[in-house]
Amino acid sequence: MGGTQRLVVALDDGYAEYDQERSLLAAAGARFELHPCRGSEEAAAAAARDADVLMVRESPVTRRVLDAAPRCLAVVRYGIGVDNIDQAAARDRRVMVANVPDYGTDEVATQAVALALAVARRLRLHDAEVRAGRWSTGVLRPMHRLRGRTLGLVGYGRIARMTHAMLAGFGFGRVLAFDPQAELPSGVEATDVDALCREADLISLHAPLTPATRHLIDARRLALMRPTAILVNTARGGLVDLDALHAALAAGRLAGAGLDVFDPEPPDPAHPLFALDNVVVTNHVGWYSEESMRDLQRLAAEEAARVLRGETPRHWLNRW
């Protein structure tokens, strides 16, 4: 390091404490600074100027930001998705991009199951009825049991496997999965997305957002789904065409949806989807518990420290 202290810059705030980052990076001979950029490319470029490593949540790390950071060795994403980081530009500049895929697995899987059950049991509708003073044991909307039905998982990584394990007790008769990269366990049937949409009663999305998966669930695939099907998305908002989803739900061509993620975030509260009572929404909080937040900060800081020590990150994405 030539006696010069390295600098690690976090481009987004949002955590209560940064003690883990400061201690882990100090041990690697670096100073940690927090420069909240609030999604501004201009602010990110200014903050990155002297950084040896960037740590980021949601702000854009574009080619312009990387060009403004000649000392930058790596960008570490606080989380799994890296669609806000220009990986090709980073590769061109020999800047490593790393993420933290091994945190919050229990939390996101729990969120997926919670959303699925809330939609299946129409909790939003019945909660509103009770709060409005309307008490009836009659049928407000049809509900169907999960036992014997078909579960469909788009993506079969850590979170999807945990979601599958959590849902196993509900007695699904079949489990379908689309993930060409995954080795599927016994009892899980490999299929393509179209067949999964046609045959599954509960469809849970666990795929990354890439140019190939943007609007993976579009009007055509929504039209393939059963009118009793439920769609859950705890992965990335861009996987689903929100306008097409609204049209399908409003027309009764789909039973309901549970969404923790949107494109863009935050979404427009005036979007007609939010007026529907067969949709349960949360604010991209599936990753969170106090334990997972601490895990995420520690694991991200450990990746940055590895880079500063001249090592490669455990989860290096844009390899050359």
- Outline where 142-233 has alpha helix (H): 158-167, 193-199, 219-224
Closest Cα to residue 251, out of 220, 230, 276? 276
CB neighbours (10 Å) of residue 54?
Answer: 30
Which position among 17, 265, 291, 311 bears the catalytic label?
A: 265
In degrees rounded to 5, what are phi and psi of residue 234?
-120, 15
Complete edge-to-edge strand list for the sheet that includes strand 202-205: 188-190, 174-178, 150-154, 202-205, 230-233, 256-259, 279-281
Positive or negative: CA dihedral 240, 246, 250, 256: positive
Decide if 246 is catalytic: no
> Which residue is it, tokens 């909240």?
36
* Token pair of 225 as six digits: 């789904």
Query: Which residue out of 158, 236, 246, 306 is catalytically annotated?
Result: 236
Query: From its phi and psi, is residue 155 left (phi > 0), alpha (psi between -120 and 50) or beta?
Result: left
- Scanning the chain, the segments in alpha helix (DSSP H) are 19-27, 41-47, 63-67, 87-92, 105-120, 123-131, 158-167, 193-199, 219-224, 242-250, 290-308
Look up 265 and say whether it is catalytic: yes
Of 161, 198, 221, 284, which is the active-site residue? 284
Stretch (H or E) spanning 203? strand 202-205
Asked about 17 being catalytic, the answer comes back as no
Catalytic residues, which ones? Answer: 236, 265, 284
